[in-house]
Amino acid sequence: MSNFLEDIIEKDLSSGHAKTIKTRFPPEPNGYLHIGHAKSIHLNFGLAKKYGGEFVLRFDDTNPLKEDIEFVNAIIEDVLWLTNLKKEELKVNYASDYFGIKYECAISLIKKGLAFVCELMPDEIRRSRGTFEKKGTNSPFRNRSADENLRLFEDMKNGKNSFVLRAKIDMSSPNMNMRDPIIYRVIKDAHHFRQGYKWKIYPMYDFAHPIQDAIEGITHSICSLEFEDHRPLYDWTLDNVFDIIQNASQNKKDNIPHSSLPFRSRQYEFARLNVSRTIMSKRYFKTLVDEKKVDGLDDPRMPTIAGLRRRGYTSSSIRNFCLSVGVAKANSEVDTRQLESFIRNELNATAPRAMVVLDPLELEITNFDDTHKRLLDFSYNITVGTDTLSIEKEVSRKINFSKKIFIDKSDFLLDPPKNYNRLTPDGFVRLKSAYIIKHISHEKNEDGSIKKVFAEIVPDSLSGNDTSGVKAKGVIHWVDQKTAINAKVKLYDYLLNEESDGDFLDNLNKNSLVTVNAKVEKHLEKSKQGQSFQFLREGYFVRDEKEKDLSFNRVVALKDSFKM
């Protein structure tokens, strides 16, 4: 099924309105990308790919007060990761490269009587814009002569005043964006990461965006719904400055990409992606980090691409999720569990199985002699190739078994609930890939909790070769004590509580991170950072890419009731 943007593109291609299509992803380098941006990237990149067109990453670097090269680099890395492009295959442009042409466009508007320098203070401008019910009032500076405007704009450019340049449109327009919007402002003494101190005036988004789209020959400028009301200004701008862009382009001014011909771009809007139980705005990310609610922008609880990657999400799982969400014209919220289901299904097929005890309880087997090493077969149980994992390629491996093992505390209960298929007093249970054991006795701590369990192996009950005739109720996982190693395991949960309204800081889930000291199979010592596993009966885990010591992050639990 095609989406509405594909319908538009197909119409434009068949009518000849566009010979080929070109899309862009235009982030402001003022923070890290999040899953919502991934949606926009896959939409723009996907459309260009589908129709044999071009895709560019263009930084909207028009505010030196907020932007930084650190974010530029992080965004490039994320886009490469998401699109699977090589560095040399990704076209990267910068809005700031066209500041010269934008300046010429502003001059041209002034000369055409379509822009004026306004001396009102910001709050005066705000007040004079009126409301939805009330028309705005004209600025007293609206009718200056072009010459005076040119002189004052020149002063703005030289940092001699702090006025603004406003488009002269219509203060009574029902669209607030058309009420003489600011198109240029003064930002003095701020260092721009590409331009240094060259500019003291900076164009506003609504003015800069259509110009840079047109310069680059972007045929379909796709943005989120909140820009719908800005579209008339987008069109107004191009209606009035396209001649300047064409001219500059012919003379190869600024860094106009040579492959591009200016195009009378059009803007199209789609619904932004919202995901439940998380926060989706760069501004709020900063608050979370500053208030130390999370451990940096790449904290595995964060919906940033860097956070998701560290959490163990693959770029294919994110792409498939974005595709599954589709392209809509109405805002809605997607259940986080839908995102989780994609990584879960993928890891179910690709993640080698391993045994890890998160909450260890000692268990001693009284009738087992381990003077000789005992190795058992344990299956990796993956259904597709291990090439991305490059752990050993066999389907199974040997694991140690000995007299003393660890089981999980929750797998032995004195007073079990109904249908508890694990170890109970005098009960039987199978140890995964090993023997059936029978409970004999246990020791308690002073507080009454279980300290240690003693059990016996049922003779002839080895997995795959069981002639014992004994039926064990269930199967539990375990780790051999002799060879087990320690690892930190981080159990992540959602950032926000289920019911949340009001300030997001009041709705943070206090249990979004629980760290446990686990006993893990020695085998995991060989794992690589970023490598994922299924810890049997516990979930999918990834070896943390940052921590040097053995440390795993829970990607997602094993099962979920969510139905797509």
Options 6, 28, 148, 456, the catalytic residue? 28
**36, 136, 203, 360: which one binds ligand ATP (CB under 6 A):** 36
- Span near ligand ATP by CB under 6 A; candidates 25-33, 113-121, 397-405, 423-431: 25-33
Residue 57 binding ligand ATP, by CB under 6 A: no
DSSP string, 338-371: HHHHHHHHHHHHHPPEE-EESSEEEEEETT---S
Helix (H, G, I), strand (E, B) or coil at 226: helix
Q: How far is the CB of 271 from ligand ATP (least distance, A)?
A: 8
Residues 1-20 within binding reach of ligand ATP (CB under 6 A): none
Q: Is 272 a catalytic residue?
A: yes
- Cβ burial of 496 (10 Å; 0-12, 13-18, 19+) is middle
Residue 281 binding ligand ATP, by CB under 6 A: yes
**280, 413, 450, 475: which one binds ligand ATP (CB under 6 A):** 280
How far is Cα 11 from Cα 342, in angstroms, rounded to an integer?
33
Options 58, 282, 344, 438, the catalytic residue? 282
How far is Cα 36 from Cα 322, in angstroms, rounded to an integer?
9
Q: Which residue is nearest to ligand ATP (CB)?
A: 36
Residue 273 binding ligand ATP, by CB under 6 A: yes
- Cβ burial of 558 (10 Å; 0-12, 13-18, 19+) is middle
Sheet strands (E) in 29-138:
54-59, 91-94, 115-118
Q: How far is the CB of 66 from ligand ATP (least distance, A)?
A: 10
Q: How far is the CB of 61 from ligand ATP (least distance, A)?
A: 10
Q: How far is the CB of 217 from ligand ATP (least distance, A)?
A: 18
Of the pair 272, 442, the CB lying nearest ligand ATP is at 272
514, 426, 425, 435: which is closest to 478 by C-alpha? 435
Dihedral sign (CA 343, 28, 494, 514):
positive
How far is Cα 549 from Cα 512, in angstroms, rounded to an integer?
22
How far is Cα 100 from Cα 123, in angstroms, rounded to an integer?
29
Of the pair 305, 355, the CB lying nearest ligand ATP is at 305
Residue 223 binding ligand ATP, by CB under 6 A: yes
Q: How far is the CB of 43 from ligand ATP (least distance, A)?
A: 8
Q: How far is the CB of 3 from ligand ATP (least distance, A)?
A: 14
- Span near ligand ATP by CB under 6 A; candidates 116-124, 163-171, 279-287, 358-366: 279-287
Dihedral sign (CA 66, 68, 72, 73):
negative
How far is Cα 411 from Cα 473, in angstroms, rounded to an integer?
12
- Span near ligand ATP by CB under 6 A; candidates 97-105, 160-168, 274-282, 361-369: 274-282
Of the pair 178, 273, the CB lying nearest ligand ATP is at 273
Options 24, 144, 168, 272, the catalytic residue? 272
- Span near ligand ATP by CB under 6 A; candidates 37-45, 95-103, 349-357, 495-503: 37-45
Q: How far is CA 266 from CA 43, 236, 364, 409, 563, in A?
A: 16, 11, 72, 62, 38
Of the pair 26, 262, the CB lying nearest ligand ATP is at 26
Residue 282 binding ligand ATP, by CB under 6 A: yes
Residue 56 binding ligand ATP, by CB under 6 A: no
Binding mask 225-264 for ligand ATP (x = CB under 6 A): ----------------------------------------
Residue 332 binding ligand ATP, by CB under 6 A: no
Dihedral sign (CA 402, 404, 408, 412):
positive
Residue 76 binding ligand ATP, by CB under 6 A: no
Helix (H, G, I), strand (E, B) or coil at 466: coil
Q: 21: how many CB neighbours lie within 10 A of its CB? A: 23
Residue 28 binding ligand ATP, by CB under 6 A: yes
Residue 224 binding ligand ATP, by CB under 6 A: yes
Q: How far is CA 333 from CA 67, 118, 336, 403, in A?
A: 29, 41, 9, 52
- The half-sphere exposure of 308 on its side-chain side, counting CA atoms within 13 A, is 27
Residues present in the chain in total: 564
Of the pair 281, 486, the CB lying nearest ligand ATP is at 281
Beta bridge partners of 118: 164
Q: How far is the CB of 490 from ligand ATP (least distance, A)?
A: 25
What region, left, alpha or beta, does residue 238 occupy, with left being phi > 0 and alpha being psi -120 to 50 degrees?
A: alpha
- Span near ligand ATP by CB under 6 A; candidates 278-286, 332-340, 392-400, 467-475: 278-286
How far is Cα 157 from Cα 241, in angstroms, rounded to an integer?
20
Q: How far is the CB of 299 from ligand ATP (least distance, A)?
A: 16
Q: How far is the CB of 296 from ligand ATP (least distance, A)?
A: 17
Active site residues: 28, 272, 282
The site for ligand ATP (CB under 6 A) is made up of 26-28, 36-37, 39-40, 223-224, 272-273, 280-283
